Amino acid sequence: MEPYELIRSRRKTLSLEITRDCRVVVRSPMRLSQVRIEEFVASRAGWIERHLASQRLRAAAAPPEPTGEELTALKAEARAVLMPRVAYWSGVMGLTPAGVTITAARTRYGSCSAKNRLCFSCFLVCYPAEAIDLVVVHELCHIREKNHGPRFYALLSQYLPDYRERKALLRQPILEKGDAPL
């Protein structure tokens, strides 16, 4: 059986997770017996092996982590690319963010806070302009519609009718600068 990290909490169900760094994490209710947890993990051994193999392949194919200097340069480039796009789409949509922040987030391209501050990952600039515009417009839409309900998607499709095709571009692996998208 694959070794795993056990996290007990005040939850009612068992769950499995394969992390980006290829660890197996089991989340369990506080009082569930160790025997039941091990039966659960053993019953999902095939799933664990398949997903670990997939995650290891993904990790091997990923570009190396940028150095501090490279990250600083990437953030500066992201600011230079994203700020004009935010300004353009803000004008088109008639929406104004309270501020814009550039981070080094790896799992989220953008977010909009309750106070209408937008946050974008510097890695977003590794994608085509169409994908960048999708994330900018998506986050600006959250200024008006805070959730992903029907009104949100109606607003998004009003400005980007091809948003589904643009979203497919974001499913490609992050490219190193200079590489052409697949």
Residue 25 lies in a domain: yes
Predicted confidence band at 175 (pLDDT cuts at 50, 70, 90)?
low
Percent of the chain with pLDDT over 70: 95
107 and 24: one domain? Answer: no
What is the total count of domains within the chain? 2
pTM value is 0.70
Q: What is the C-alpha separation between 169 and 61, in angstroms, rounded?
A: 18
Per-residue confidence (pLDDT) for residue 63, from 0 to 100? 73
Which residues span the domain enclosing 32? 5-61
Considering the domain architecture, whether residues 117 and 53 belong to the same structural domain is answered as no
Q: Does some domain include residue 175?
A: no
- The pLDDT assigned to 90 comes to 97
On whether residue 81 sits in a domain, the answer given is: yes
CATH of the domain at 82: 3.30.2010.10
From 15, 46, 61, the end of a domain falls on 61
Residue 180 pLDDT class (50, 70, 90 cuts): very low
Residues 6+ apart with CB under 8 A from 149: none
**156 and 72 co-located in one domain:** yes
155 with 85, same domain? yes
Do residues 46 and 82 share a domain? no
Evaluate whether residue 182 is within a structural domain.
no
Determine the pLDDT at residue 21.
86
